[in-house]
Chain A
């Protein structure tokens, strides 16, 4: 941390100069994450951010694709180009069939050492965090986790990685000055999805992993996929109706479900509601839950604590229902109704129902 004394030095102070060795590091990389043949959307969101940063720095964006040899793996390179990458580093090897820390760490660190990017971004998923932590330690460089905002200081070519701190009550900006690459992870849905441009193409740089199975100690015995059908998919829902502790009783939560049913919405909740067992963990919105960006977010009986807010702030339209006119949620909602959620919710459900009925007749 910069000390007070340093910060107050008069103008003309010695400016931070990047080491010559570090000046060689150029370009912004995004780790392209995929599992079971499906590309993780967080990688595309990161490409959008990388593009903006790269344009400021005047450098290229590269995707890093690692996987088994074949069409599917190669198709991820094309997808990366469509979302902003100029080139992709491609590692194809049967050893990369399932994610394992050892081969992926080696693959990534070898690429970094050879091609020297100045910034490396990964999704803050279980895979991305596992890989990022190992790569950063192996390379002895700085890593900032769960960033909510990325920018660059062009003068010193430094990544400004902003993240919540102290339980989300404050934000801090973290820099990695004297080390390269500068690494950061970002949670899914925190950054907007960039537009796809199918006309974009790029070049592929192929490398070898250079490992044999017998040298890898950890073996995958089995993969048990989640039952996706009945798992709530909040991060991608267009409409979410959420309830908080102000709903008072688990039975009252039916009012949330009723409104959600009429709207074809997902149901969300605050942490106390999840901890009381009214709904499952996958429905928790916020810092220790899911980040969502729906077109409409309806919050009933939710105070709007910062830990909840960070997970839903990016919603296009927020409606808040709370019986306390001073509830913090009214500071950032778009529409507010002061009143008892137990009477407002059924009325709102009816209003939407009849509105939709007429809209359909007219339309």
Chain B
């Protein structure tokens, strides 16, 4: 069985700061990490490989530095890694990204047929959860989103049974391979990298593909040109015009503070008082 896992390198958003005056993102020094949601996808693929055998290929589209994300994936146990990188991809939105990735996957498929494609639920920088569905549609594959568990795979019959999260419950679905699965977070826990794999990761000869090698002929489908959406404005959230009314009282005792708060609040919001009485 051959599983392709799409991973993305993202800035660690917990460490992103916005410049207080210019409102621009201060990227310097912000470490790049593998999109945390993609690690669930990778681990799920590695688990299936443990159970059913086969190979796991990790794929990313990004700048040359995204190589680090692929090496990380190899240290966890991925077999092969492909970096699709080209200036022509700059400015891609989700539609253009899924076009490029789908094309790269078709190329991979020529070397070794692909049975399953895994993506994360979403990225922490793009946050759209659209790239997975986009790839599936372009490759005309069955799409299974928000999968919390792969129940079983029947390789002979080319069938897979999964549990999929829906709003009010879990759907158990049966479908045909090849299919694309977006993996829900919390599905599993990433294994530790072994010494052997870490060693392999450092020496692994990455495959680096440019636009042509990724099989993309039509440049109007990628990069800025292939992106229907444009960002027309970036701005900071507006601060509320009035700050909190700070509750103070002479004694400063918790009890007096609380009573003062309730008196002030219910005087201003009498309806709230009725609501609370109703609830309690």
Interface residue ranges, A against B (CB under 8 Å): 1-2, 35-36, 38, 40, 98-102, 105, 125-127, 129-130, 132-134, 136-138, 140-146, 160, 164-167, 169-179, 217-226, 228, 238-239, 262-265, 281, 295-296, 306, 309, 316-320, 325, 329-339, 343-344, 346-348, 350-352, 355-356, 359-360, 363
Contacts and interface: CB of A to CB of B under 8 A. Distances in A.
B279 A35 contact: no
Given A1-B224, A225-B169, A352 B262 contact: yes
A225 B168 contact: yes
Contacts of A172: 231, 233-235
Given A264-B279, A319-B265, 14 more contacts: A133-B94, A133-B129, A133-B137, A134-B137, A137-B137, A167-B16, A170-B18, A170-B25, A175-B229, A220-B172, A222-B171, A333-B244, A334-B265, A344-B254
Nearest to A287: B127
A306 B238 CA distance: 12
Nearest to A310: B237
Contacts of B244: 318, 320, 329-336
B202 interface: no
Contact of B247 (A335, A352, A356): A335
A223 to B, nearest CB: 6
Contacts of B233: 172-173
- Highest count of chain B CB atoms <10 Å: which of A178, A333, A334, A360: A334
B38 interface: no
Nearest to A38: B168
B179 to A, nearest CB: 8
Q: Interface on chain A toward B: helix, strand, loop, or mixed SS?
A: mixed
A263 B261 contact: no
From B13, B95, B245, residue with most partner A Cβ within 10 Å: B95
A335 B264 contact: yes
Contacts of A130: 133, 143, 145-146
If over half of B's interface residues share one DSSP class (helix, strand or loop), that class is named, otherwise mixed; here it is mixed
A166 B234 CA distance: 11
A225 to B, nearest CB: 4
A160 B233 CA distance: 10
B115 to A, nearest CB: 15
14 contacts: A2-B230, A126-B166, A143-B229, A169-B236, A171-B237, A175-B230, A218-B144, A224-B169, A331-B243, A334-B244, A339-B257, A348-B254, A356-B280, A359-B273
Nearest to B161: A221
A174 B230 contact: yes
A170 B239 contact: no
B21 interface: no
Contacts of B146: 126, 130
Contacts of A177: 228, 230
A347 B254 contact: yes
Q: How large is the interface on B (under 10, 10 to 19, 20 to 34, 35 or more residues)?
A: 35 or more
B255 interface: yes
Given A173-B233, A218-B144, A223-B172, A99 B166 contact: yes
B149 to A, nearest CB: 11
Interface string B169-190: 1111111100000000010000
Given A166-B25, A263-B280, A137 B134 contact: yes
Interface in B218-266: 224, 227-237, 239-240, 243-247, 253-255, 257-259, 261-262, 264-266
A174 B232 contact: yes
Interface in B117-144: 124-125, 127-130, 132-134, 136-138, 142-144
B255 A336 contact: no
A335 B98 CA distance: 47
A317 B169 contact: no
A355 B42 CA distance: 55
A36 B134 CA distance: 27
Contacts, number: 271
A221 B161 CA distance: 9
Q: Which A-B residue pairs are the 4 nearest by beta carbons?
A: A133-B133, A167-B13, A142-B228, A347-B254
Contacts of A318: 244
A223 B164 CA distance: 9
A262 B280 contact: yes
A221 B163 CA distance: 10
B245 A136 contact: no
Contact of B166 (A127, A171, A265): A127
Contact of A350 (B16, B168, B258, B280): B258
Contacts of B195: none
A262 B257 CA distance: 18
A146, A164, A169 interface centre (most CB from chain B within 10 Å): A169
A178 B228 contact: yes
B192 interface: no
Given A143-B128, A173-B231, A218 B95 contact: no
A220 B171 contact: yes
A219 B276 contact: no
B184 to A, nearest CB: 9
A142 B95 contact: yes
Contacts of B258: 344, 347-348, 350-352
Q: Which of B16, B144, B245, B261 has the most CB of A within 10 A?
A: B261
Nearest to A319: B261
Given A221-B173, A355-B262, A335 B245 contact: yes
A143 B130 contact: yes
A330 B248 CA distance: 14
A171 to B, nearest CB: 6
A171 B235 contact: yes
Interface in B262-280: 262, 264-266, 269, 272-273, 275-277, 279-280
Nearest to B143: A101
Contacts of B265: 317, 319, 334-335
